Chain A
C-alpha cells in the first residue's frame, strides 16, 4: 500500500528528486516496487514513440470483438424489430412500442472530438433545428403572461340546443376551427373555450350528449400548447403534456407528438428518452398517415445528430444516410443533413470525406441564395 502511494505520487511528479532517490533505494529491497517502476518507465518512454502512437490509433482486439458482438446484436435486433412490426396492431400505444422495441443503450464511448450544436465552441458544429437549445425559463416571451386556462380536451358535451344550433364546451383551445366537424355537428363560430355549430339535418342531438374531437385535431391542439409551454421555458410541463397525449391517436397520428417529445427530452437533458422517442417515431414512418419524405428526412437528421451528440458515430451513420437519400427535401434541410454527415466523417477520422460533405452542405445553401439572386 505504501509502495502504491509512493508510485502514484511519483507518477504525478509530486515528489522532489531527493524523495525519488529514497524511493530508488527502497526499490532495490522491494522487487514489486522495482517492477512497478520499470513498467511505468516503459510506458512513459514508449508513449512518445511513433510506433506506440500508431498502435494507439488502431482499434484493439477488444474493440474489434466488441464491434463484432455489436454487429451480431444489431442483426438480432433487426429481426426482432421486423417481427414486432409485423405482429403489432394499429391501436397499440406508441410509448409502449418505444419501450418494447428500443433496447437500453450500452455504455457509450466518448469520441475523440465531440460535436456541439453551439457554433461558438471550437468543436464540429451539428445542424439540427429541432435540437437547438430551448429558451430558459426566465427569458422574456412575446406572448401573454396568462397561461392557457385549461388543457386541450379530446371530448366535450352539448351545453345548449336551440333550433338546430348547438353550443359545445370545446373551443379553439381544443383545436376547433370554423368548419370543423364533430360527428353530426359542423362548427360555425369558435371561442376560446366553447363553440357554436349547426346540426346536420336529420340527426338527433340532445342536451348533454358527448361529442369527440377527431384525434388529428386534438393532437394538433396538444402540439400547439406543447410548443407554447416550451417557448415559455417550461420544458417539464411541455413534456408531460406531450407524453400524456401519446394515447390520443393511432401510431401514425401520434408520430409527430413523439418527434416533438424527443426534441423536448433532449433539450431537458434526457438524452436516453430522446433517443427512444425518435426511434419509436421512426418505426412509425409508414403507419397511416405515412410520413412525407421531408418529415422523414428532418426526423432522421435529428436522430443522427442526437447520436453524434451522444458520442455514438456508428449509430448515427444509418439515420443520416437515410435522411440524405430522401428526395424532395428543401435545400436548407439538405444542407443540415450534409453538414452532419461531414461531422460524422470527421469523428470517424475521415477528414477528406468530411471536407467534401461540408463543401456540399455549403453549396446547397448557396444554391437557394443564388436562385434568389437570379430572380430579380
Chain B
C-alpha cells in the first residue's frame, strides 16, 4: 500500500504537506474519484501518490501549480505544458499508481507463503521509477492507446495528421493537397478531435481493473 502520509519520506516539511493538501484539495478529490473508477482499493492514497509524483516532476510541477493551486501569485507565468498535456500526464500517473497497487496486491497473494522476512517489503515493492522513467512509461502508455485508435481514423485525416506530425506547416500541406490553409486547419482539427474521441472511449474502464475478493483485501 502507499503510505497514507502525504509526501512521507520526501523532503517536504509538515507545513508544506499541509499546504499542499489544502492547496490541491479539489484536484485530490477529482483524482481520488478517478482512482476509484480505475478500481483502486485505496483511492485516497492513489490520488496523493499521483499528485506527489506530479509535483516531483520538473515539467509537470509548474503546470500543476499554475492550473490547480487555490491561490495563484499575480505574477505567475503560464507553464510550458498546456492544460491537456498536464491532464494526460495526471491520468497516466494515476493509472500507473493504481496498476502498481494491483501488482503489489497480486504479488503479495502469490508470495505470501514465503515473503515474510524483514526484507519482504523491499522485494515485494520494487523501487518507484525515477521521474524521468515514469515520464517515459506514461508516454509509451498513451502512445500505445493512440496507436490502437488510429485504425478508426478516416484515411484523409490520417494523411493530414501524418503530414502535420512530420513537421509540415499548414501552408505546405495545403499546397501538396491542393486545398486552402483553412481547409487543412479544419481537417487537422477534426482529425485530432475524432482521434481524441476514440482515445477517450478507449480510456474509459469497462470495469475495475481488478475485482479483489473481499477476504483478500487486508494487508498481508
Contact = CB atoms under 8 A, between A and B. Distances in A.
B170 to A, nearest CB: 12
A368 interface: no
Contacts of B26: 25, 28-29
Q: Chain B interface mostly helix, strand, loop or mixed?
A: helix
Contacts of B67: 20-21, 24-25
Interface in B201-217: 203-204
A47 B143 CA distance: 8
B84 A44 contact: yes
Interface string B56-96: 00000000001110001000001000111111111100000
B159 A110 contact: yes
B203 A38 contact: yes
Contact of B33 (A25, A31, A55, A122): A31
B153 A112 contact: no
A70 interface: no
A55 B88 contact: no
A305 B20 CA distance: 66
Interface stretch (A9-17, A140-148, A253-261, A293-301): A9-17
B193 A11 contact: yes
B151 A35 contact: no
Nearest to A56: B162
B151 A34 contact: no
A23 B83 contact: yes
Contacts, number: 163
Contact of B196 (A25, A29, A40): A40
Interface stretch (A60-68, A199-207, A214-222): A60-68
A34 B86 CA distance: 11
B176 A112 contact: yes
Contacts of A113: 176
B30 A34 contact: yes
A112 B163 CA distance: 8
B169 interface: no
Interface in A214-249: none
Contacts of B27: 28
Nearest to B77: A17
B143 A44 contact: no
A69 interface: no
A45 interface: yes
A51 interface: yes
Nearest to B86: A41
Nearest to B64: A24
B166 interface: yes
B85 A44 contact: yes
A39 B197 contact: yes
A48 B72 CA distance: 31
A24 B155 contact: no
Contacts of A17: 66, 78
A24 B67 CA distance: 6
B115 interface: no
A192 interface: no
B71 to A, nearest CB: 12
Given A34-B34, A37-B84, A112-B163, A11 B89 contact: no
A110 B156 contact: yes
Interface of B: 26-27, 29-30, 33-34, 66-68, 72, 78, 82-91, 139, 142-143, 145-147, 150-153, 155-156, 158-159, 161-166, 175-178, 189, 192-193, 195-197, 199-200, 203-204
24 contacts: A8-B193, A28-B30, A34-B30, A35-B203, A37-B88, A38-B84, A39-B196, A39-B197, A40-B84, A40-B196, A41-B84, A41-B86, A42-B196, A45-B142, A46-B139, A47-B165, A49-B139, A55-B150, A60-B151, A60-B153, A110-B177, A113-B176, A114-B176, A114-B178
Interface of A: 8, 10-13, 17, 20-21, 23-25, 27-29, 31, 34-49, 51-53, 55-57, 59-63, 109-114, 116, 121-123
